[in-house]
Structure 1
Amino acid sequence: MTVSEVPPAFRLAYVPGVTPTKWVRIWNERLPEVPLTLVAVPAAEAPGLLRAGGADAGFVRLPIDRTDLSAIPLYTETTVVVIPKDHLMAAVDEVSVEDLADDIVLHPLDDPLEWENGPGRPAIERPDTTADAIELVAAGVGLLVVPQSLARLHHRKDLTYRPVHGAPESRIALSWPEDETTDLVEEFIGIVRGRTVNSTRGRPPTPAQPKGKRAEARGAGRKPAAGKSTGKSPQRGSGGTKAGKRGRPGKSGKPRRQS
């Protein structure tokens, strides 16, 4: 099989916390002949994976180096603090960064939030991953501030979370190598942006027609409404209206006399 005969495929990378299910479903409905493969990747490694050709496009966390990557910001996540269910903060609906001042706040090495000055008191050591930090929160070692999607991803029955005001926020974007903006990448961009299947993007526009041609095209195939004239004169003859007036039989069946 030559390169031109290899069937097309699409590889989509995604970082933890992103759920691409909806977009994958739409892709499979619109392009069933092009298989889509999901590639899970840590947030810090996603840009390198795209540059190395490990995926055609991917959902990443901003900021990233856009020197050779294109990116379309999609949405901004709510920042939350993960706490034990019996913590005092569980009694309120939301907290501020200042409310964390007296607590130990864990900052894992894969922290997706960019802090100028981290909240709370630092732990003796930084956990390697967010998953490790969640385990420490459950053990009562400290609290963890993360995007809400990561709190949901690592959900535990003994933990809960509350929104945090004044904390940095994480943005999710669709990214791909700038020099590899293929037709399939454009298709996926359209799906993510909500374009319908009948979108005219990328399709040649319908050539304009003269007014007479357009009017004729609109009228083609239409049937005249009931009771309206078709524009043709009725034929005169024995079956015509005028012919039937003379010599019309009366009630007795005999012709009427003409005066």
Structure 2
Amino acid sequence: MTGSEDSPSFRLAYVPGVTPTKWVRIWNERLPEVPLTLVGVPAAEACDVLRAGGADAGFVRLPADRTDLSAIPLYTETTVVVVPKDHVVAAVDEVSAEDLADELVLHPLDDTLDWERPPGRPAIERPATTADAIELVAAGVGLLVVPQSIARLHHRKDLTYRPVSDVPQSRVALSWPEEETTDLVEQFIGIVRGRTVNSTRGRPQTPAQPKGKRPEARGAQRKPAGGKSTGKPAGKSARGGTGGTKGGKRGKPRRRS
């Protein structure tokens, strides 16, 4: 748990392209007393930030160095190629890596795809960042292959993108230091995995309270020792009255002295 016991908080790291809005909203609804702080980090630094204690948990891109980290893969993204809107690729629905063989394809230093060999012809110099590569694509210098969420993040009116087959894909995972699986981390895992608010997993269990005796209903009839109910309220005989025989005479009144 981050912070003191009196004022807990939760820091959530996220890499470019990941939008944690939905999960943050659910967190604020369920744990309004625990503020959640978002920490934006470059994809290449996300795991180091978690190991250094810069965040309690974070959304990272796989593959990554997960030494001392736990991770739950969440989803795999489509890989796309970013091109100018007037490029020939924009006229088709999908391309293959082979279709890009004659194109100059930029490979920025912060690229998150696990390439054995990037497609296309390499540029003389690698752009420092994906944002720099996007500017070069807009200038007509080359094309860029990235996860779809990154293409959306850097959307421009003069650019578009198309899916690419036969290339690596980026997986997004929720990760945290394996030695720091706190109650708050468990709570966030439950939110990401879609557990309901009534789920007890990851939360302290409330001890079961001893069951008390079931109170008797008001006016309930008691059973006599024989086990059978007389069908009449207690204190009266089966024939009615206050214990005498039906229609019996009253006793003589006592004389006053």
Q: In structure 2, what is the equivalent of residue 246 of structure 1? A: none
Alignment of 1:29-108 (within 5 A): 29-108=29-108
Quick check: 193-202 or 16-25, which moved more? 193-202
TM-score with structure 2 length normalisation?
0.79
| Cα distance between partner residues in 1 of 2:190 and 2:150 | 26
| Cα distance between partner residues in 1 of 2:71 and 2:168 | 20
Q: In structure 1, what is the equivalent of residue 149 of structure 2? A: 149
Q: Is the contact made by 2:47 and 2:66 (CA closer than 8 Å) also made in structure 1?
A: no
Q: In structure 2, what is the equivalent of residue 226 of structure 1? A: none
| Cα distance between partner residues in 1 of 2:39 and 2:186 | 19
| Cα distance between partner residues in 2 of 1:112 and 1:154 | 15
**Structure ranking higher in helix proportion:** 1
1:27 is aligned to 2:27: yes
| Cα distance between partner residues in 1 of 2:173 and 2:5 | 33
Q: In structure 2, what is the equivalent of residue 255 of structure 1? A: none
**Paired residue secondary structure (1:179):** coil
1:133 is aligned to 2:147: no
> Residue type matched to 2:198 in 1?
N
1:181 is aligned to 2:181: yes
Unaligned segments of structure 2, at least 5 residues: 218-228, 234-238, 241-257
**Alpha-carbon distance, 1:129 to partner:** 0.3
Alignment of 1:225-240 (within 5 A): 233=231
How many residue pairs match? The answer is 222
Say if 1:176 and 1:5 are closer, same or farther in 2 by CA, change over 3 A: closer
> Residue type matched to 1:201 in 2?
R
Say if 1:204 and 1:232 are closer, same or farther in 2 by CA, change over 3 A: farther
| Cα distance between partner residues in 2 of 1:72 and 1:17 | 18
Q: In structure 2, what is the equivalent of residue 8 of structure 1? A: 8
Q: Deviations 1:108-140 (Å, cap 9, x if unpaired)?
A: 000101111110111111100000000000000
Q: In structure 2, what is the equivalent of residue 118 of structure 1? A: 118
Q: Deviations 1:155-208 (Å, cap 9, x if unpaired)?
A: 00000000000010000001111111111111101101111110121454886x
| Cα distance between partner residues in 2 of 1:232 and 1:186 | 59
| Cα distance between partner residues in 2 of 1:11 and 1:154 | 25
**Paired residue secondary structure (1:119):** coil
RMSD: 2.6
Q: Is the contact made by 2:81 and 2:164 (CA closer than 8 Å) also made in structure 1?
A: yes
Q: In structure 2, what is the equivalent of residue 198 of structure 1? A: 198
Unaligned segments of structure 1, at least 5 residues: 222-230, 238-259
TM-score with structure 1 length normalisation?
0.79
Say if 1:232 and 1:112 are closer, same or farther in 2 by CA, change over 3 A: farther
Say if 1:82 and 1:16 are closer, same or farther in 2 by CA, change over 3 A: same
Q: In structure 2, what is the equivalent of residue 253 of structure 1? A: none
**Paired residue secondary structure (2:189):** helix
Quick check: 64-73 or 39-48, which moved more? 64-73
| Cα distance between partner residues in 2 of 1:49 and 1:204 | 31
**Paired residue secondary structure (1:180):** coil
Say if 1:232 and 1:31 are closer, same or farther in 2 by CA, change over 3 A: farther
| Cα distance between partner residues in 1 of 2:173 and 2:140 | 34
> Residue type matched to 2:191 in 1?
I
Identical-residue share of aligned pairs (%): 80
**Paired residue secondary structure (1:199):** coil
| Cα distance between partner residues in 2 of 1:195 and 1:53 | 26
Alignment of 1:201-212 (within 5 A): 201-202=201-202, 203-204=204-205
**Alpha-carbon distance, 1:65 to partner:** 2.0
